[in-house]
């Protein structure tokens, strides 16, 4: 296991290098100067700009620039935001907790929807319950999150006036009132993400359960006289969840990027809305850093998915 972990980590390095190279090539192929914003700003004197250019190595040949960018990246230095005048790292750390709170809760809600729906769908395959769940799941992942978000705002904020339209992290209350207020603000972004992810997960759980339920050991469990509940929960579900856990780990980076849209609709001050606003403000270092951070997430969660598979399924042998 340790040997496998080390080998997988070593494979992850060239992938990350490759991604950083692709990003860098895209950036350097782009015509125009990422510093043009700075050049247009009359408040920045020419000498300062030239100094900054030299400091950041903008006048070096491409391969030198790449190596410089990579070394500073490895030192944990993601650069300096043109617009907010703070370190990009600091900017990202400010936004990260909000994103993780909304996404994490959404994913838990998604699981709470998908687990029962997927299991019932598979156990009672082709029953009306299965048909309803399957149709709803199809509707769920065909509805784009930006449309569900707008519908939610329309229904819950404009018509019913139950929930605030705009998310805020700055809630002025204490105790249970605080919790309730946070919930009111986060409810819509969480539900939009949860419904979409829940629909996708339902399909996976159903498919995986259907594969397992046909196995001989399920017949054996029934033949032993176990209750149906024990057969489904203890024998079928535990095995069916192995591939589902892997898929969940692989989905997590996708949820992060899916959150870009949700954060934009509800003005959630997370990583995604930072990316969009940085694009609008042409704040290249921040854009590059966030895109690279997303890529790192993908690689890390691929690794976690691989390892989880081995931990959960003792039949998998490495080496």
Partner 1 sequence: MVAGRGFATGTVQTAEAALARPPRTLWADAWRQFRRHRLAMFGLAVLAFMILATVFGPLVYPVKFNEIDMTQRLKPPTLAHPLGTDDLGQDILARILFGGRVSIAVGLAAMFIAVTIGTAVGAVSGYFGGTVDHVLMRVTDLFIALPPLPLLLLVIYLFRDPVRGVFGPELGIFLLMVTVIGSLRWMPVARLVRASFLSIKQKEFIEAARCIGVPGFRMVAVHMLPNALSPVIVAASLGVAAAILQESTLSFLGLGFPPDMPTWGRLLFDAKDRLDMAPHWAIFPGLAIFLTVLSINFIGDGLRDALDPRRVG
Q: Tell me if residue 125 falls in helix, strand or coil.
A: coil
Contact 113, 318 (CB under 8 A): no
92 token code pair = 């990202």
Identify which of residues 19 and 115 has a Cβ nearer to partner 1 in the complex.
19
Identify which of residues 161 and 315 has a Cβ nearer to partner 1 in the complex.
161
117 binds partner 1 (CB under 8 A): no
Identify which of residues 143 and 226 has a Cβ nearer to partner 1 in the complex.
143
20 binds partner 1 (CB under 8 A): no
In the list 64, 67, 150, 233, the residue contacting partner 1 (rule: CB under 8 A) is 150
Burial of 134 (0-12, 13-18, 19+ CB in 10 A): middle
Contact 285, 27 (CB under 8 A): no
18 binds partner 1 (CB under 8 A): yes
How does DSSP assign 144-167, residue by residue? Answer: -HHHHHHHHIIIIIIIS--S-SS-
195 binds partner 1 (CB under 8 A): no
Residue 195 C-beta: closest distance to partner 1, Å: 13
How far is it, in rounded angstroms, from Cα 110 to Cα 197? 6
In the list 92, 210, 291, 308, the residue contacting partner 1 (rule: CB under 8 A) is 291
Report in angstroms the alpha-carbon separations of 16 from 218, 237, 287.
43, 35, 17
How far is it, in rounded angstroms, from Cα 64 to Cα 71? 11
- Among 187, 168, 184, smallest CA distance to 176 is for 184
In the list 93, 138, 162, 217, the residue contacting partner 1 (rule: CB under 8 A) is 138
Residue 260 C-beta: closest distance to partner 1, Å: 6
185 token code pair = 């603000």
Query: In Å, how far from its chain's centre is CA 182?
Result: 21
Residue 239 C-beta: closest distance to partner 1, Å: 21
92 binds partner 1 (CB under 8 A): no
Size of the site for partner 1 (CB under 8 A): 48
Residue 16 neighbours by CB distance under 10 Å = 16
Of 55-63, 64-72, 146-154, 224-232, the segment contacting partner 1 by CB under 8 A is 146-154
Q: Tell me if residue 80 falls in helix, strand or coil.
A: strand
298 binds partner 1 (CB under 8 A): yes
158 binds partner 1 (CB under 8 A): yes
Residue 174 C-beta: closest distance to partner 1, Å: 32
Where along the sequence are the contacts to partner 1 (CB under 8 A)?
14-15, 18-19, 22-23, 26-27, 30-32, 135, 138-139, 141-144, 146-147, 150-151, 153-154, 158, 253, 256-258, 260-261, 264-265, 275-276, 279-280, 282, 287-288, 290-291, 294-295, 297-299, 302
């Amino acid at each position: 296991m340790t040997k496998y972990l080390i080998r997988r980590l070593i494979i992850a390095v060239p992938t990350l290098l490759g991604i950083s190279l692709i990003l860098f090539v895209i950036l350097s192929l782009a015509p125009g100067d990422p510093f043009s914003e700075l050049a247009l700003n009359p408040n920045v004197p020419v000498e300062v700009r030239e100094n900054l250019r030299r400091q950041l190595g903008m006048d070096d040949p491409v391969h030198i620039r790449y190596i410089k960018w990579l070394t500073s990246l490895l030192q944990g230095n993601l650069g300096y935001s043109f617009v907010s005048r703070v370190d990009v790292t600091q900017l990202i750390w400010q936004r990260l907790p909000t994103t993780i709170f909304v996404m994490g809760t959404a994913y838990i809600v998604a699981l709470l929807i998908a687990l029962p729906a997927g299991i019932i769908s598979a156990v009672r395959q082709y029953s009306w319950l299965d048909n309803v769940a399957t149709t709803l799941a199809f509707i769920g992942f065909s509805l784009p999150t930006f449309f569900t978000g707008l519908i939610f705002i329309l229904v819950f904020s404009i018509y019913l006036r139950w929930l605030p339209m705009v998310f805020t992290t700055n809630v002025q209350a204490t105790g249970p009132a605080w919790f309730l207020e946070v919930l009111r603000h986060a409810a819509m972004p969480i539900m939009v993400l949860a419904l979409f992810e829940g629909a996708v997960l339902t399909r996976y759980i159903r498919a995986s359960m259907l594969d397992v339920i046909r196995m001989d050991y399920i017949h054996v469990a029934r033949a032993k006289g176990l209750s149906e509940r024990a057969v489904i929960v203890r024998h079928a579900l535990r095995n069916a969840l192995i591939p589902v856990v892997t898929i969940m780990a692989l989905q997590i980076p996708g949820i992060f990027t899916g959150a870009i849209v949700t954060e934009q609709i509800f003005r959630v001050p997370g990583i995604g809305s930072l990316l969009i606003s940085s694009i609008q403000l042409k704040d290249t270092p921040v854009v590059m850093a966030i895109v690279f951070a997303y890529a790192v997430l993908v690689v890390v969660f691929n690794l976690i998915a691989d390892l989880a598979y081995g931990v959960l399924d003792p039949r998998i042998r490495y080496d």
